[in-house]
Chains A and B, each alone.
Chain A
Amino acid sequence: MLELIFFNITNGLIVGAFYALMAIGLSLILNLSGVINFAHGGFLVIGGYLAYVLTPYIGFWGALIVSPFLTAIIGVAVEWLLIRRLYGRDPLYSLLLTFGLAFIIEDGTRQIWGANGLPVSVPPALMSALSSRFFFITGYRMFMVATVAIVVVLLFVLLRHTRVGVRIRAGTLDLETVAALGINVRALRSFNFAVGIFLAGLAGVLAGGQLGLEPTMGDGLLMPSFIAIIVGGVGSLTGTLVGGLLIGVAAGLTAVVFPSASDAVMYVIMAIVLLVRPRGLFGEEGMLT
């Protein structure tokens, strides 16, 4: 029983780390550009399939770095060509656009690589279990959580201690004043978009190594990521991080006692949080505070 609970907590943390990674990227884009990026799961898919293509040439480690960067570049191209034109309009426009993009990416992936699952090969060193009792804690799972943790810490350092990061946080509340202070807010938004998409691409590589690739692999992550943002409080990245981990672990634990409710529990948590703190756990305080 103890193993079972522990297994599900571990699982929940890993799933939660993915929710958090996706949700933080979504949150960055939503906060600065006011765009609800429904194509976020699509960029995860692109990141994963790029890793599949690149691994034979540059290995898993190379792909782990290069794929998210390429995904971010593709993301910026999409932002420049399409999404940018809808800034400042009713959010419905960008929502429809990204919704359409999500379908295009999914079908495009299916066209190129087929509907069947494909593997991302992971170095054998990462695949072994750490102990026989806790067989489910493979090196790869530890590695995934550690990677997410490192990337999140780096992101927070960027936002707190670099000029561009501070400008992003300033722009979250008052982009007009940031512009009036001489900052190229178009470039700032593009950079911020790239960071968000980088995180999605990274999630795609990591997920591909664990579960393999499918054109629809991003679908299941999008709704929990939105819930993570709402639970944490729109505007707070710390909240988004906590929200992602929280619903991941809650879903994992629920799977022990009542497996069929493990998805529903996310919505229950969201409802409770919204009743008690309508702005989410870390709302009101503003981003990163």
Chain B
Amino acid sequence: MSEEMKIAKVMDLKGLPCPMPILKVNKGIKEVEIGQVIEVWSTDPGSLSDFPSWARTRGHQILKTDQNGDVTRFYVQRIV
């Protein structure tokens, strides 16, 4: 993935329970430029529904979601 897409920042949120992943990603996305992509790792099962919902309310885009074992990787592009 990183070869095809330039990742501006990687956030390792493994082990954090809900709602921490959302709070962290909401902060983290503001630290990159508009148009840039962050890669976020989470093990919280709730993130699978929380992240797409959060992205829709805040106008960002989830470009891809990879599930590997217990870890889910989200690739989120800052749009606004």
| Chains A and B belong together in one complex | no
Residue positions of A touching B, CB distance < 8 A:
none
